Amino acid sequence: MFWMACGGIPASAGNVSRVMDSTGEAAGDFVADEIIVKFKNDKKPFQIVKVPKGKVKGKVLEYSQRSDVDYAEPNYYAKALFIPNDELYDLQWNFGSQASGGIRMEEAWELSDGSGVTVAVIDTGIAYENYQQYVQAPDLANTRFSEWGYDFVNRDTHPNDDNGHGTHVAGIIAQSTNNGIGVAGIAFGATLMPIKVLDSDGLGSYADIASGIRWAADKGAQVINLSLGGSQPSSVLKDALAYAYGKGVTIVAAAGNDGSKKLCYPAAYDDYVIAVGATCSDKTAADYSNHGKGLDLMAPGGFDETGAIVGDGILQQTFNPLTRDVSDFGYWPYIGTSMSSAHVARVAALVIARGSATTPSQVRQALQETALDLGEYGWDKTYGWGLVDAYSALNWPLAATKTVNVSIDLTPQFKEAGKNVFTWVEARVMVGEPGAPIANATVSGRWSSPTDDTGKGTTGKDGVAVLTSHQTKSAAGTYTFMVESVKINGIVYQPIGETIDSISIE
């Protein structure tokens, strides 16, 4: 079994020593016989290169020094961030009032059930079908599932769960509700896209996780939940997050279960990810919850201490996580930031379904501005912006009531400088309706692939703001621009209409 510094572990796993192989490399931090390489001028986002066992770090250095390589890195492991507790049948305090540490789901369900939104659960898979030895979880019988699920561990189209973690996370998000049995899910009207990147031990490589993120973005997911984490930064992981964000996907990730002052990856990539820590039923931060720079929100994660009350975990249906018998289902309370991340991912889906906010930046703003402030006033390193409030997020006033129409016109630009030809793209963003342009509006937008940068522009009398991407020597690629927000007279408006556009340059 591999141990990751940021990973939660089964309660029965005990202490796992960190061992060294004969070369002196730490066994278990990364895949022993392969590295990730991003070659320049390669249409593939990255490639896996096989190397001799024990030579990973040396080969990373060797490839990093090559002129045809953008970056090379070990293929690190990430871990599911949870701890299973004893089997119990009890109330879901996490969905109740703020007085009991809940996120006000009863009120929020009157406004939205998440219908029309697809959430990718990138995890150990989901018990979503009856296939070979696998059995569908009874409480997922009425849950909608996308046809685009995929298993990156076994390389097939049946991402079934063989660990139990992914099924529990999926239940928090969209377990069948109002069916007279079991427990409830948050956004039970949503569609789940099961993507398996973690194996039966809850362990997965960064390469598989990055592939899962890109797959979800390409197959229409509007929200991605990442209830997993690793201890190391990674270019391949960051690139995948930027890719999905650039396609308008809201990404939510677990902060980590070490109780440390540093977030796990991918949660630490704050430009693209909503990072979520864990609270207990008394609204205090769980001791195990990571905190610090980049922490956005808190959500119920549960706790397990001597003298703790019955039902202190987050209760959902999954199969027995101790025996991993995929047909032995029960209601198990788990604890961890995995559970917290799932709460926020599904509230994000509710918000998108209601139309309160649609772009990733708007969803983040809606959740942050409506969260119950905990700890120090405003943002703080322990609680971020506070405990997510589903009902208030669905009533976020700015995005719900103030919108402005925008349109985008993309034009490629070229400039010769000696033997080099520089390429960039100009975005002309029109604010307002035809014939009624809005002047002095501040447009904020983001470029992605092959550039990755943000920019602002102010509209003139014609209502047009001009924003340009960074210049690059490589002309080929698809440039994507997204309008994130428009500020008029100090008020932030939600852009509607043509908010994302792309142009391909051969």
User: Three-state DSSP class for 182?
Assistant: coil
Evaluate whether 169 touches 225 at the Cβ level (below 8 Å). yes
Same domain, 252 and 367: yes
Residue from 234, 222, 208, 226 nearest 275 by CA? 226
Which distant-in-sequence residues (6+ apart) come within 8 Å of 327 by Cβ?
A: 133, 135, 319
Q: Give the other-Cβ count within 10 Å of 24's Cβ.
A: 8
List 338, 341, 407, 485, catalytic entry: 338
Same domain, 268 and 155: yes
Boundary of a domain, candidates 345, 377, 401: 401
Check if 68 is active-site.
no
Range of the domain at 408: 403-505
Copy the structure tokens of residue 446: 């983001």
Residue from 142, 131, 138, 201 nearest 166 by CA? 201
List 29, 112, 113, 123, catalytic entry: 123
Boundary of a domain, candidates 401, 435, 469: 401
Evaluate whether 279 touches 252 at the Cβ level (below 8 Å). no
Written as tens digits, the pLDDT of the chain (506 aa) is: 222 324 333 322 222 222 223 233 344 689 999 999 999 999 999 999 999 998 999 999 999 999 999 999 999 999 887 555 434 334 554 544 455 555 555 666 566 666 789 999 999 999 999 999 999 998 888 888 999 999 999 999 999 999 999 999 998 886 544 333 444 444 456 799 999 999 999 999 999 999 999 999 999 999 999 999 999 999 999 999 999 999 999 999 999 999 999 999 999 999 999 999 999 888 899 999 999 999 999 998 888 654 444 457 787 888 888 888 999 888 888 889 999 999 999 899 989 988 878 899 999 999 998 888 888 767 899 999 999 988 888 887 643 346 789 999 999 988 877 777 788 899 999 999 888 899 999 999 999 877 788 899 999 999 999 999 987 776 678 899 999 999 887 667 789 999 999 998 87
Check if 165 is active-site.
yes
d(CA 160, CA 151): 8
The verdict on residue 47 lying in a domain is no
Q: How many domains, in total, are found in the chain?
A: 2
The verdict on residue 42 lying in a domain is no
pLDDT given at position 82: 56
Which distant-in-sequence residues (6+ apart) come within 8 Å of 22 by Cβ?
A: 54
Calculate Rg over the CA atoms of the chain.
23
CATH number at residue 278: 3.40.50.200
Same domain, 171 and 253: yes
Same domain, 323 and 468: no
Establish how many alpha carbons lie within 13 A of residue 474's alpha carbon, considering only the half-sphere containing its beta carbon. 11
Residue from 23, 122, 19, 30 nearest 72 by CA? 30
pLDDT given at position 306: 40
Same domain, 323 and 436: no
pLDDT given at position 501: 94
d(CA 72, CA 62): 9
The verdict on residue 119 lying in a domain is yes
Which distant-in-sequence residues (6+ apart) come within 8 Å of 483 by Cβ?
A: 406, 408, 429, 443, 444, 445, 495, 499, 500
Same domain, 199 and 159: yes
The verdict on residue 53 lying in a domain is no
Copy the structure tokens of residue 189: 């009207």
CATH number at residue 481: 2.60.40.10
Same domain, 374 and 434: no
Same domain, 479 and 381: no
The verdict on residue 46 lying in a domain is no
DSSP state of 365: H
The verdict on residue 48 lying in a domain is no
The verdict on residue 149 lying in a domain is yes
d(CA 347, CA 274): 12
Same domain, 351 and 301: yes
Same domain, 441 and 311: no
DSSP state of 441: P
Boundary of a domain, candidates 366, 385, 401: 401
pLDDT given at position 215: 98
Same domain, 430 and 487: yes
List 151, 161, 162, 165, catalytic entry: 165
Greatest extent of the chain over all pairs of C-alpha atoms, in Å: 74
Check if 123 is active-site.
yes
Same domain, 365 and 226: yes
